[in-house]
A and B are shown apart, each in its own frame.
Chain A
Amino acid sequence: MRLIDETGAVVADDPPLPAPEVLLEGYRGLVFARRLNDQAGALVRQGRLAVYPSSHGQEACQVAAAAVLAETDWLFPTYRDVAAIAARGVDPLDVLVMLGGDWHCGYDPVATRVAPQATPLATQLPHAVGVGHAARLKGEDTVVMALCGDGATSEGDFHEALNFAAVFASPVVFLVQNNKYAISVPLARQSAAESLAAKGVGYGVPAVRVDGNDLAALIVVLTEAVARARRGEGPTLVEADTYRIQAHTNADDPSRYRTEAEVDEWRPRDPLLRMRAHLVATGVLTPEREAELAAAAEEMAAHVRAGMGRESAPDPAELFAHVYSTPTPQLREQAALLAAELNEVQA
């Protein structure tokens, strides 16, 4: 489904577009997400982040995923969904803790209702089903938004999660960001299916294919999927057709597996440029508002730079603190050993 084309023109009016203020807020999210990607890329080059998987080009999926959720809903992100977590309201500095190497997760998943970023593919999807199933048993109307990429659709856990969610009518929205590559492996080698959405048929899960660079269409589709889940009608599979413009991470060399011409084909379909064109044409985005957004995004980037610029020194004692709710005798011995070693070094 597509509502707004690459020039910003409205190409469909059924279902109707989201309200202008919703789109403007979404655009703000895109500007912040793009700025965060750029800033994180710079931090990788400065050695402040160990790694960063860019979501440049697919920000609309992530912004929409966060935008359609209520405060009590849950988001299950992957490692590439930093922008989605930040759009959910988590301080980007806390999101970047994992990629910065201080700890494996820098925010409180329960307080933020954002699961830790998953690095193995698809393993978070059964967790999402469990959170949703528990919510139903407890009589809550919580919905879970579970993100994954095209590569994850080949994993067993993707299939088990869809099947479980369908059988239990779990309130889960599965959003597949089909960005065409799993590191270097193209979609054609990932799946022989007509589309990734087609996989929903086998599980009895309604599926929708949406232009993943069209923020308006994404918001409409995901809003309905969330509403459906909240009504107790079960999961929806959404395939967002998008493209990863940049390398998988800083360690990747995309010239080995795709042509620059292919990337160039996707550049004009940029979700940010498209929404900007639409909002400017409809008079919603004035130069003043645009300047305000840019300034706010710069402020966020400066906050990230300042935070990541500080030398951090995680406490070695923390190695043993969280393995169990109470350290075992063996861990207490090992903690004492490390403390003694550190004291010796200091002395």
Chain B
Amino acid sequence: MIQALNRALHDAMAADDSVVVFGEDVGPLGGVFRVTDGLTAAFGEQRCFDTPLAESGIVGMAVGMAMNGMRPVVEMQFDAFAYPAFEQIVSHVAKLGNRTRGRVRLPMVIRVPYGGGIGGVEHHCDSSEAYYAHTPGLLVVTPATNTDAYGLLRAAIEHPDPVVFLEPKRQYFTREELDAGPVPPIGRSVVRREGRDATLIAYGPSVPVALAAAEHGAAEGRDLAVVDLRSIVPFDDETVTAAVRRTGRAVVVAEAPGFASVASEIAARVSERCFHYLEAPVRRVTGFDVPYPPPKLEQHHLPGVDRILDAVDDLQWEEA
């Protein structure tokens, strides 16, 4: 996925001179994950540059640059390192278009490597999507495949509104060829796997886990569908609702703490829209409501195949 993201940045910078990339260590080093590798060499240090170590300054400067006609793409080195920029993100990035009645639009992307499962130390594994999704004015997307990583990042950079682009660190090192298909528009979810018995709804790092659960479920006689949201904001009610109505049962899978979460929101929306189609209450399989655990405990925290299949089993099957 790193190469897909790198290629997206490279192609976007080549296509549009106003695209600039900056943040901590994104220049000669190419980012701590090498997502920005080679961009300074290819486009010069005016287009891809290192900043002082200050997240609020990085995002705040991006706001001003977007106000003045550029398309900044900034990197927050790790999920929890973005919190010093939180005020800039929620008070200004999210609101400036609305404050100015649309006269100022902020075509900027905040890239956040996020989520756990990589054995990271504290503050390197948070799932922060609920904070951003709760803030009107931000678009929030997260790819689960390399093809989507490329396409969604291109779409995010081209979008007139600010996008929080959550990159699942766990998938950084997955290798798969890019499909040269059309760029998916932001706001469209996709059914990754069809199934008759229940729908697993997941996004970002949880999509491969949900797909694995569906594989294992198939061996146990459960025919599970998997929806990959791709976009959290806007939320694709249409795809999710249609998928759940086909199966009558749904499990939401996400690794963030479940309380007041994106998973909660999805469960509520599905319940409202699919009530008469549901055979059982919507289940959530999420991380526990604990600060992200140390590496030796994270496997207990992250939703895994067994926990997902247990939840599927709990959906009051008639034969049970």
**Chain B 44-87 interface 0/1 with A at a Cβ cutoff of 8 Å (1 = within):** 00100001101011011111111111101000000000001001
Do A120 and B97 have beta carbons less than 8 Å apart?
no
Residues of A within 8 A of B200 (CB): none
Contact present for A160 and B63 (CB under 8 Å): no
B92 touches which one: A123, A138, A142, A160 (CB < 8 A)?
Answer: A123
Q: Does A229 sit within 8 A of B, measured CB to CB?
A: no
Among B100-108, B207-215, B274-282, the one that faces the other chain is B100-108
B99 proximal to A (CB < 8 A): yes
Chain A interface residue bracket vs B:
35 or more
The size bracket of the interface on B is 35 or more
Q: Which residue of A lies closest to B235 (CB)?
A: A330
Min Cβ gap B26→A in Å is: 15
Contact A131 B65 (CB under 8 A): yes
Please tell me which stretch of A184-192, A211-219, A231-239, A317-325 contacts chain B, meaning at least 4 of its Cβ atoms lie within 8 angstroms of it: A317-325
From B70, B88, B234, give the contact of A328 (CB < 8 A).
Answer: B234
Tell me the chain A residues, 107-133 only, with Cβ under 8 Å from chain B. Answer: 108-111, 115-116, 120, 123, 125-133
B21 to chain A: closest CB distance in Å? 12
CB-CB under 8 A from A137, the residues of chain B are 20, 46, 65, 70
Is B294 positioned at the interface, with any CB of A under 8 Å from its CB? no
Q: How far is the CA of A135 from the CA of B92 in the complex (A)?
A: 20
Is B139 an interface position by the 8 A CB rule?
yes
Residues of the B chain whose Cβ atoms lie less than 8 Å from the Cβ of A329: 187, 234-235, 237-238
Residues in B neighbouring A111, C-beta threshold 8 A: 103
Whole-angstrom distance from the CB of B66 to the nearest CB of chain A?
Answer: 7
A113 to chain B, nearest CB (A): 10
Contacts of B62 in A (CB 8 A): 130
Residues of the A chain whose Cβ atoms lie less than 8 Å from the Cβ of B88: 123, 126, 157
Most chain B CB inside 10 Å of its own CB: which residue of A163, A322, A323, A328:
A322
Interface bits A313-347 vs B (CB < 8 Å: 1, else 0): 00000100111110011100000000000000000
For the complex, what is the distance from the CA of A128 to the CA of B54, rounded to whole Å?
16
Given A115-B67, A132-B64, A324:B161 Cβ within 8 A: yes
* Residues of chain A with a CB closer than 8 A to B84's CB: 156
Query: A135 CA to B46 CA in the complex, in Å?
Result: 12
User: What residues on A are CB-neighbors of B237 within 8 Å?
Assistant: 329-330
A163-B54 contact, Cβ under 8 Å, with A131-B64, A134-B65, A157-B60: yes
Interface residues of B in 114-154 (CB under 8 A from A): 136-137, 139
The residues of A that contact B105 with a CB separation of less than 8 Å are 325
- Interface pair B103/A109, CB less than 8 Å apart: yes
A289 in contact (CB, < 8 A): no
Chain B 224-260, CB-CB to A under 8 Å as 1, else 0, gives: 0000000001110110000000000000000000000
B148 to chain A, nearest CB (A): 19
Indicate if the CB atoms of B187 and A328 lie closer than 8 Å: yes
What are 15 A-B residue pairs whose CB atoms fall within 8 Å in the complex?
Answer: A109-B104, A110-B104, A123-B87, A126-B61, A129-B64, A130-B61, A130-B72, A131-B65, A134-B68, A134-B69, A156-B84, A161-B60, A318-B101, A325-B97, A329-B187
- Given A130-B66, A330-B237; 12 other pairs, CB 8 A cutoff: A109-B104, A126-B56, A127-B67, A129-B60, A129-B64, A130-B65, A130-B72, A137-B70, A167-B52, A321-B101, A323-B98, A325-B160
Interface residues of A (CB under 8 A from B): 74, 103-105, 108-111, 115-116, 120, 123, 125-135, 137-138, 142, 156-157, 160-161, 163-164, 167, 318, 321-325, 328-330
| 3 closest cross-chain pairs (CB), A and B | A130-B64, A126-B60, A160-B57
